[in-house]
């Protein structure tokens, strides 16, 4: 996992509610176990007028300039609900999304984001509307900056503070998945195992 500290870039307003993981990456787009190649199928039922021919839908926000360069997605309620499909996170990341700012998320999707280094931030509906209004005035110039170290979102001369779980924040800042976090304790684990064997030689 790459460390996540500061993210700056174009943010795309995508305020549909209850966007489930099958909408993010439909099952027919998952043709391999690999994480690679999933971005083409991201939101395929909405991104394309013809999925089989890959004919773009010009009305879909991520097909529009400059939103087609977005690194941040501004979303509606309950984003990532539905199944535990980790491919949804992989598809978003491969497309270029590094952070999602929404009001609420599917719980398993949120966990998958943390495990894979995709930053999910929760804000109030009012704060989301404020960011959308800022971005839409000039999406090319009105970039959003997220600082995970200071827990601040900067837009123009203003900022919004956000809360984030301390453990999850450490994992993202250090670029650690759960296995790598455990490996940081290798010396303590080895020491415990050695003492345990001495105290219990019959094992």
In DSSP terms, which residues pair with 12 in a beta bridge?
Answer: 73
The Cα–Cα gap between 11 and 141 comes to: 11
The 3-class secondary structure across 17-58, one letter per residue, is CCCEHHHHCCHHHCCCCCCCCCHHHCCHHHHEEECCCCEECC
Positions in the chain short of pLDDT 70: 178-186
Q: Within 13 A of 123's CA, how many CA atoms are on the CB side?
A: 26
The reported pLDDT for the residue numbered 126 is 98
The Cα–Cα gap between 59 and 48 comes to: 10
Record the pTM.
Answer: 0.88
Is the domain covering 6-175 a CATH 3.30.470.20 domain? no
CB neighbourhood size of 45 (10 A): 14
The reported pLDDT for the residue numbered 25 is 96
The reported pLDDT for the residue numbered 190 is 76
The reported pLDDT for the residue numbered 2 is 87
The Cα–Cα gap between 106 and 83 comes to: 9
Alpha helices, DSSP H, located in the chain: 21-24, 44-47, 87-95, 107-116, 125-137, 166-174, 178-183, 186-199
The Cα–Cα gap between 82 and 89 comes to: 13
The reported pLDDT for the residue numbered 184 is 64
The reported pLDDT for the residue numbered 181 is 65
Could you state, in order of their start, the residue ranges of all structural domains in the chain?
6-175
The reported pLDDT for the residue numbered 188 is 79
Using alpha carbons, list the distances in angstroms from residue 186 to 166, 181, 183, 193: 22, 10, 5, 10
In contact, 80 and 106? CB cutoff 8 Å: yes
In contact, 148 and 169? CB cutoff 8 Å: yes
First to last CA, the chain: 37
The reported pLDDT for the residue numbered 172 is 96
Residue with tokens 């109030």: 124
In contact, 174 and 164? CB cutoff 8 Å: no
Q: How is residue 62 written in tokens?
A: 């991520």
The reported pLDDT for the residue numbered 203 is 73
Per-residue pLDDT tens over the stretch 112-136:
999 999 999 999 999 999 999 999 9
Output phi, psi for 61, to 5 deg. -55, -40
């Amino acid at each position: 996992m790459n460390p996540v500290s500061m993210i700056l870039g174009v943010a795309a307003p995508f305020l549909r509610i209850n966007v489930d993981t099958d909408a993010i990456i439909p099952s027919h787009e998952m043709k391999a176990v690999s994480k690679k190649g999933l971005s083409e199928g991201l939101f395929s039922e909405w991104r394309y007028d013809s999925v089989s021919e890959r004919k773009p839908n010009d009305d879909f926000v991520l097909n529009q300039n400059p939103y087609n360069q977005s690194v941040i997605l501004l979303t509606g309620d309950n984003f990532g609900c539905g199944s535990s499909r980790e491919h949804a996170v992989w598809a978003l990341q491969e497309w270029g999304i590094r952070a999602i700012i929404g009001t609420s998320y599917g719980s398993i999707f949120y966990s998958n984001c943390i495990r894979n280094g995709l930053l999910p931030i929760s804000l109030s509906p009012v704060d989301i509307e404020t960011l959308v209004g800022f971005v839409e005035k000039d999406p090319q110039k009105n970039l959003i900056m997220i600082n995970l170290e200071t827990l601040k979102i900067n837009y123009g001369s203003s900022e919004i503070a956000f809360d984030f779980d301390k453990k999850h924040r450490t994992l993202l800042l250090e670029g650690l998945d759960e296995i790598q976090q455990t490996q940081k304790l290798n010396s303590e684990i080895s020491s415990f195992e050695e003492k345990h064997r001495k105290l219990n030689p019959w094992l």
